[in-house]
Structure 1
């Protein structure tokens, strides 16, 4: 397939100039194949190093779909069920209005627990934007942090969508407990490796060894780019670092209904369950927006069903 992306490239460069974005990369898949990939701008302004399609960025909450996929793979293997109460796996007894929270509720952000903002506080501290500090560096810390969350519940499980990063941290903990592997090891072995996502990482050590990482920059009031640290931390809610070429393989698997290059990653039925809207979102831009398992769903976006998710970690953002 040969398409002209010149108008798109012109639009991107104009917006980058207006907003002072130092660098970005994009990839486009058509008919199940990668048809376009390009980097724009710089990954390092001080040395004038360009962004390429191989350049690593934090993908933030796009990671949640990987966590959801891992849960469903364990379900496919008979090791858990999305209708299991989380108390079966986590020493956290929170029952909003007397009802059990189930894995399904964590996947769909409908546990009844409001956002506790651990991630926001952590990232703001790393970026030097706020002196607020929460000493949470592991899923166990999050479980302790959430132990009194019942006093903040606002609805029964399954009644209302309320975005909860902490819920996906709990899912990562469940994945580790059920699989007998760390969350990161399970995702690497059962998702990243089969998809040939060889340059997608969770650890600072791996990213630094790779070397092709986009330096995080903040823009100050004078329009200057200020270097900031990347907020490495708890991973299951938003800790994957990847590039558009690897992510293209991930999306090919969805387009091919759970298969990648002849290898079955997940059953078609379970994959389509991820893309099914399980709870309505509290806002509507196009009508009927809902949330599946790790994905937002717009049933009619210019005549198409749009399965999507954005991500933001520090100053890195992503959209799939």
Structure 2
């Protein structure tokens, strides 16, 4: 199977079943809190259709224009009733078809809540136990596990499975719409390994929900799509919902568009039944689903799932810090600061060209759902405005901050790597009496300590650390809306034993150690790094893909390889790599522009296809220690010399590490 996409979407990576391509640039921040676009806030929640329309109509007009959205659904329920179920704009702009309550959207990862519901139904029937080894329910399928701790359904449904490649099963593309690929056929060929003790760390996980759906299929004896039809959709009267594409639903499906308004093809899944993200539904059907959720599993006199099971789906199960919940059984709680102190559980979902968000406020018997036809972050703006309007936050006192000594800061210091988005790397150091965070997205952030496991940055975003039983810091979670770091805990990368042939005084030592800790470049032989040895083009390419860090989805490495070699003549993987070839490969992925105020001037002879890339990197400070830039900006790059391993370590660490270089894209 192949991957059929090559673009990156922040929304998709944050909220959904898929990340669509390699991220080669820092991702922008979600817009900060704004004033609601409608009347003064209410503390009573949504009241009636007229009042909600007065709030929603100008809000959607504004946000759809801002995010270039052609059409959106919006449904609000409260106390068992539909307050509003309305469409805005066009399901198909070219055909002038408006969105209405029956417009079909791909709800993508909102599907995960249905999969969790199906598991809980099996638990209610006594056929499954959330805390047993999941292999009991897989019909003989084994999950590789190096931890010694069994993987359970509870771990999977709370996004704490501990697998190394949580997106290894994410195959999407137009070609999958007409195919029929079973989970039984698919899963044995695409299996990650459990490398962290299950339950230890939060990592957004597509594989876990796919495997949970497969467990439902094996235990119930029904194909997953049939199970959902008979046990969920029909009892709820969700007549326009399906795990699979059906002709009558495709006829009513909203067209797909990219963020800039260009038409986008419809993507399907492999396997065909996608418990992690393949459901199609409408505003009309999702209203019924939310009413059932808010009525403790009851709908029109029928028990869809027990109250005990529904409580597990709504109660916070996983916390990154005692006051920062992150997951329930099936739902999530990201962007907690937007909840305004309410108990909120939510789930977002994206396929290329469609986005959805479901927000439940169980204690207020209130929920809303929306789907729209592009990949933007409009749903987060709508969520923020909804909460500010109906459930405004009471003023909170500024916390008291504690001092942090240099001695006590030592346990935090080091490099961390995101457990899902491997390209997100963060450094913590102690400077001038404060712990300082540094990464490419946020730059340098001076932190203040609320208590020893909770800090806040200069912009008010929280950083929660996690320690093991011995008191060692093992992970941190950063609740900023910038970038994609919120998709997982970041794990502390312990420095490995120093190489015997890299002197402590070497200007390359830190670069070499960083790449070793991340398993990007390791020893050449034994405990020797061979710092002045050369590399082949193939060896550098492999290291560059690891340093780049975005090849977390099936087939992504192929696209990254094609991108990195563009414009380089006479490539030969077995040939030694020159410094100019390495520079162009890095620049092909970074796409940096020379800083306008930088006057760097290349003095030696580089080939025409390489000179611009070299200048761009050097102007950004991506340069090895032995390349000196003179006061007048002139420098000699030794462009046609062979690249040494220590030079490669410096260039890769500076280009793709955590440093806040003056990067201009």
TM over 0.5: yes
Asked if the contact 1:114/1:163 (under 8 Å) is kept, the reply is no
Of residues 182-191 and 228-237 in structure 1, the stretch that sits farther from structure 2 once superposed is: 228-237
Partner Cα separation in structure 1 for residue 160 and residue 304 of structure 2 = 27
Separation in 1 of the partners of 2:316 and 2:97? 42
Give the Cα separation in 2 of the matches to 1:76 and 1:238.
24
Structure 1 equivalent of residue 309 of structure 2: 270
Large movers: runs of 4+ above 6 Å: none
- How far is 1:146 from its partner? 4.0
Residue pair 1:22, 1:42 contacting (<8 A) in 2 also: yes
What is the alpha-carbon distance in structure 2 between the residues aligned to residue 226 and residue 309 of structure 1? 26
Q: Which moved more, 1:258-267 or 1:108-117?
A: 108-117
Q: Does 1:228 align with 2:268?
A: no
Query: Is 1:248 aligned with 2:298?
Result: no
Q: Distance in 1 between matches of 2:160 and 2:348?
A: 19
Q: Would you say how many aligned residue pairs link Structure 1 and Structure 2?
A: 301
Kept in 2, the 8 Å contact 1:142–1:169? The answer is no
Indicate conservation of the 8 Å contact 2:128/2:137, yes or no.
no
Q: Deviations over 1:216-248 (max 9, x none)?
A: 1124xxx45223123244310001000111111
Aligned residue for 1:132?
none
Change (3 A) 1:200 1:281: farther
Query: Are 2:356 and 1:304 equivalent residues in the alignment?
Result: no
2:330 is the alignment partner of 1:294 = yes
Aligned counterpart, 2:182: 138
Query: Secondary structure of 1:61's match?
Result: helix
CA pair 171-163 structure 1, distance change in 2 beyond 3 A: same
The answer to whether the 8 A contact 1:58-1:239 is kept is yes
Specify which of 188, 198, 220 is matched with residue 157 of structure 1: 198
Q: 1:181 to 1:11 in 2, by over 3 A?
A: same
Note the C-alpha offset of 1:114. 3.2
Aligned partners of 1:59 and 1:45: how far apart in 2?
Answer: 20
What is the rounded CA distance, in whole Å, between the counterparts of 2:75 and 2:250 in structure 1? 21
Mapping of residues 28-107 of structure 1, within 5 Å = 28-90=76-138, 91-107=141-157
CA distance in 2, matches of 1:210, 1:100: 41
> Which residue pairs with 1:17 in the alignment?
65
Q: CA deviation at 1:186?
A: 0.8
Q: Can you give the 5+ residue segments of structure 1 that lack an aligned partner in the other structure? A: 128-134
Structure 1 residues 224 and 260 mapped into 2: Cα distance closer, same or farther (>3 Å)?
A: closer
Larger gyration radius, structure 1 or structure 2: 2
Aligned to 1:216: 256
1:237 match: secondary structure: coil
Inter-partner Cα distance in structure 1 for 2:261 and 2:283: 27
Helix, strand or coil for the counterpart of 1:238? coil
Query: Aligned residue for 1:239?
Result: 278
Q: How does 1:150-189 map to 2 (within 5 A)?
A: 150=193, 153-189=194-230
SS at match of 1:290: strand
For residues 311 and 66 of structure 1, the distance between their equivalents in structure 2, rounded to whole angstroms, comes to 13
Cα pair 2:255 2:263 within 8 Å, conserved: no
Report the CA distance shift for 1:25/1:60 in structure 2 as closer, same or farther (over 3 A).
same
* In structure 2, C-alpha distance between the alignment counterparts of 1:136 and 1:191, rounded to whole Å: 22
Q: Is the 8 A contact 1:94 1:101 kept in 2?
A: no
Q: Distance in 1 between matches of 2:261 and 2:353?
A: 14
Question: Does structure 2 retain, via aligned residues, the 8 Å contact 1:108–1:291?
Answer: yes
Q: Any idea what the Cα deviations from partners look like across 1:59-88, whole Å, max 9, x if unmatched? A: 111111110111111111111111121221
State the alpha-carbon separation in 2 of the partners of residues 313 and 227 from structure 1: 11
8 Å CA contact 2:73, 2:283 repeated in 1: yes
- RMSD across aligned C-alpha pairs, in angstroms? 2.4
| Bigger proportion of residues as helix | 1
Q: TM-score, normalised by structure 1?
A: 0.86
Partners of 1:142 and 1:166 within 8 A in 2: no
- Mark the runs of 5 or more structure 2 residues left unpaired by the alignment: 1-46, 359-665
Describe the shift of the 1:42–1:165 C-alpha distance in structure 2 as closer, same or farther (beyond 3 A): same
- 1:111 deviates by 1.4
Whole-angstrom distance in 1 between the partners of 2:199 and 2:234: 34
The CA deviation at 1:115 is: 3.7
What is the deviation of 1:263?
Answer: 0.9
- After the TM superposition, which of the residue ranges 61-70 and 81-90 deviates more from structure 2? 81-90
Q: Is 1:111 matched up with 2:152?
A: no
How far is the alpha carbon of 1:126 from its aligned partner? 4.0
Task: Give the structure 1 partner of residue 352 of structure 2.
Answer: 314
